Chain A
Amino acid sequence: MTQRPTNEPEPRREEAPRRSSGIHDTEPVVTVENLDMYYGSFKALQNVSMNIKRNRITALIGPSGCGKSTFIRSINRMHEIVPGARVEGKILLDGEDIYGDDVDPVRVRRKVGMVFQKPNPFPTMTIYDNVIAGIKLGRKRKKDELDGIVEKSLRQAALWDEVKNKLKDSGTSLSGGQQQRLCIARTLAIEPEVILMDEPASALDPISTQKIEDAMDELKELYTVVIVTHNMQQAARISDFTGFFYIENMGDPGRLWEFDETEKMFSNPDRSETEDYVTGRFG
Chain B
Amino acid sequence: MPRESFQHELDELVSQVLSLGGEVENSLVNMVTAMEERDADAASRELGVDVRYKMRGAEIDEECMILQARQAPVARDLRLLYTVQAVTNHLVRSGTLCEHICHGIADTADHERDEDLEAALIEMARSARNLFHEGLDIFKDRDIDRARDLQAVDDKVDLLYSEALNLIANPSETGAGSPEWRMRAALMVHYLERIADHGVDIGGRTVFLVTGERIENAMQQYMKREQRPEEE
Contact = CB atoms under 8 A, between A and B. Distances in A.
B74 A16 contact: no
Given A279-B3, A279-B73, A267 B78 contact: yes
A281 interface: yes
Interface residues of B, number: 18
Interface of B: 1-3, 6-7, 72-79, 211-214, 217
8 contacts: A17-B217, A267-B78, A268-B75, A268-B79, A268-B211, A279-B3, A279-B76, A283-B2
Given A13-B211, A16-B213, A281-B2, A266 B75 contact: yes
A10 to B, nearest CB: 15
B75 A233 contact: no
Contacts of A267: 74-75, 78-79, 212
Given A233-B72, A236-B74, A275-B75, A280 B217 contact: no
Interface in A160-213: none
A13 B1 CA distance: 25
Contact of B75 (A13, A16, A269, A283): A269
A269 B217 CA distance: 18
B145 to A, nearest CB: 14
B3 A280 contact: yes
Given A275-B75, A279-B73, A279-B77, A16 B3 contact: no
Contact of B2 (A236, A269, A280): A280
Contacts of B72: 233
A278 B74 CA distance: 7
B142 to A, nearest CB: 14
A13 B211 CA distance: 7
Interface string A248-283: 000000000000000000111100000100111111
Contacts of A282: 2
A108 interface: no
Nearest to B4: A281
Minimum-distance CB pairs A-B, first 9: A268-B212, A266-B74, A280-B3, A275-B75, A16-B213, A278-B74, A279-B77, A279-B75, A278-B75
Given A16-B211, A233-B72, A267-B75, 8 more contacts: A236-B74, A266-B78, A267-B78, A267-B79, A279-B73, A281-B1, A282-B2, A283-B2
A92 interface: no
Nearest to B208: A268
A280 B71 CA distance: 10
Contacts of A283: 2
Nearest to A16: B213
A240 to B, nearest CB: 16
A281 B1 CA distance: 6
A232 interface: yes
B212 A13 contact: yes
B74 A232 contact: yes
Interface string A10-28: 0001001100000000000
A56 to B, nearest CB: 20
Nearest to B220: A17
A275 B76 contact: yes
A267 B209 CA distance: 11
